[in-house]
């Protein structure tokens, strides 16, 4: 038995599928099945009850899942911490960023961190709130920086870094293009354009309607480039957080932007650094110290 087999076993249980677990680990389904067969033979027990195309865990499988989960977590933590302390191997730190964060001071933060800690390899994932949140829960990321969309969990640190004002972006021919600012109620007659991952459209629209108070019809784009094109040819508006005072990126240089107000007051959204308290990366505090200095 080896730790790779334990990792495969955990992935199968988490995904509920041999095929999906195999795809995540870039091996064939048959190779994944053979690894589990070898694991069962070595343990001398049956872990899975296979039926048609599905499976469920046996009593022994449930017990092994619970115990091996903590063992694998401890092993991964031991490896990471040993690498950091000895400096014998490059150490990676995986950071998840919400769409649009590259327009903020994040590039400067990453550059200073890399300059101060050149042995740490930074791996950056940019995606939707659901994508990076799921990756953090699955321990595929060490930390994320994003807005808050769910109740805080006691298992995770949630450190407020900054607040960004909510803005509206429209094309030059839009009826609101000459506005200096706009009230939430003035947007109801126009469709809202949201960035989304396919299959997660309802999650995005529910959040903007129920939590932020948007009452418009919702349309969706699946990349910043698609959003820019849709704004050019429609009366849709695009809500976003204004993360910099610098000129708009070339992608949106032909569009108009102005703050969104509620009862004449700017709407601001807090952004947090999230990480699992039991699996904090050894360099988390160093990264946080740099981030706080730039954002504040």
pLDDT at res. 251: 53
Residues 65 and 33 in one domain: yes
Residue 157 CA, chain-centre distance (Å), reads: 15
Residues 19 and 37 in one domain: yes
Last residue of a domain, one of 83, 107, 131: 83
**Paired sense of beta strands 91-98 and 120-127, if any:** parallel
pLDDT at res. 246: 57
**CATH number where 169 lies:** 3.40.190.10
**CATH number where 35 lies:** 1.10.10.10
**Paired sense of beta strands 91-98 and 182-183, if any:** unpaired
Residues 65 and 10 sit within 8 Å (Cβ to Cβ): yes
Residues 132 and 146 sit within 8 Å (Cβ to Cβ): yes
Q: How far apart are CA 84 and CA 108, in angstroms?
A: 23
Say which residues have a Cβ less than 8 Å from residue 33's Cβ, sequence separation at least 6.
Answer: 18
Domain that holds residue 20: 1-83
Give this prediction's pTM.
Answer: 0.65
Q: Give residue for tokens 């807005």.
A: 147
Mean pLDDT of residues grouped by 10 in the chain (296 residues)? 89 93 91 93 93 88 92 80 65 90 88 91 92 93 92 92 93 92 94 93 93 94 90 93 66 79 91 93 93 88
- Which one, of 267, 290, 280, 269, lies nearest residue 100 by Cα? 269
């Amino acid at each position: 038995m080896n730790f790779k087999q334990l990792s495969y076993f955990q992935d199968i249980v988490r995904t509920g599928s041999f095929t999906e677990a195999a795809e995540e680990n870039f091996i064939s389904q048959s190779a994944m099945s053979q690894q589990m067969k070898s694991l069962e033979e070595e343990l001398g027990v049956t872990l899975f009850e296979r039926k048609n195309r599905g499976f469920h865990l046996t009593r022994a499988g449930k017990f092994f899942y619970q115990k091996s989960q903590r063992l694998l977590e401890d092993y991964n933590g031991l490896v990471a911490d040993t690498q950091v302390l000895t400096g014998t191997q490059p150490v990676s730190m995986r950071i998840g960023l919400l769409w649009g964060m590259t327009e903020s001071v994040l590039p400067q933060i990453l550059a200073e961190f890399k300059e101060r800690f050149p042995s740490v390899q930074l791996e950056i994932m940019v995606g939707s709130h659901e994508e990076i949140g799921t990756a953090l829960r699955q321990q595929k990321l060490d930390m994320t920086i994003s807005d808050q969309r769910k109740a805080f969990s006691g298992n995770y640190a949630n450190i407020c870094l900054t607040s960004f004002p909510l803005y509206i972006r429209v094309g030059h021919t839009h009826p609101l293009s000459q506005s200096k600012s706009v009230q939430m109620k003035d947007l109801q007659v126009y469709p809202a354009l949201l960035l989304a991952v396919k299959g997660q459209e309802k999650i995005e629209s529910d959040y903007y309607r129920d939590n932020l108070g948007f009452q418009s019809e919702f349309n969706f784009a699946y990349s910043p480039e698609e959003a820019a094109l849709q704004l050019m040819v429609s009366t849709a508006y695009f809500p976003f957080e204004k993360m910099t005072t610098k000129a708009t990126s070339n992608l949106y240089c032909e569009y108009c932007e102005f703050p969104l107000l509620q009862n004449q007051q700017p709407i601001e959204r807090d952004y947090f650094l999230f990480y699992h308290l039991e699996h904090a990366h050894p360099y988390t505090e160093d990264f946080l110290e740099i981030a706080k200095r730039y954002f504040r």
